[in-house]
Amino acid sequence: MPPEATVKIKPGNRSILDNLPADAPGRRRLPTLLRRCWFNLNQTFRRRIAHTGLTPDQFTVMRTLLEGDSKGMTQRELTDLMSSDANTIASLLERMAECGLVERKAHERDRRAYRISLKPQGKRKYDEVREIALTLQMEILSVLPADKREEFLKHLGLVADASRLAAEKIGK
């Protein structure tokens, strides 16, 4: 049986599945499902925006900056909000600065930090790609009933928060 194949259980026999271990063949597994979702969503988005010269990660930086403090945010804040690591974000920001999409300005209180903000060219690129991102999200979510989509995203957010808490308990 393939790893994500599921056992067909009649509605009245739900307890059979509930009594199986979480890793039993035929049960859905959170890590595998999340990986499949992320990989396929990311690859689809990458292909759809390739003509713009942006990557999905660059779009996420832009969206995060636009949704954040109007004065910009520090690299640490951006790293945390994007659930990434400092080296990945540093490299990403360096490439984006070279392309004229973002700028780094000295932080007003912390001499070791910089405020990262979107330049006008970055905002134009973001606007160009935003509609593609929204269309893809709606296309993917269309497999769910319209009245369940926000609830699904709320629950997914809870899972994301629980995952972050679990990671923080272990430390870095």
* Predicted confidence (pLDDT) per residue in 68-79, tens digit: 988 889 999 999
* Predicted confidence (pLDDT) per residue in 36-47, tens digit: 999 999 999 999
Assign 27 a pLDDT band (cuts: 50, 70, 90). Answer: confident
CA distance 42 to 56: 7
CATH class for the region spanning 29-141: mainly alpha
**Global model pTM greater than 0.85:** no
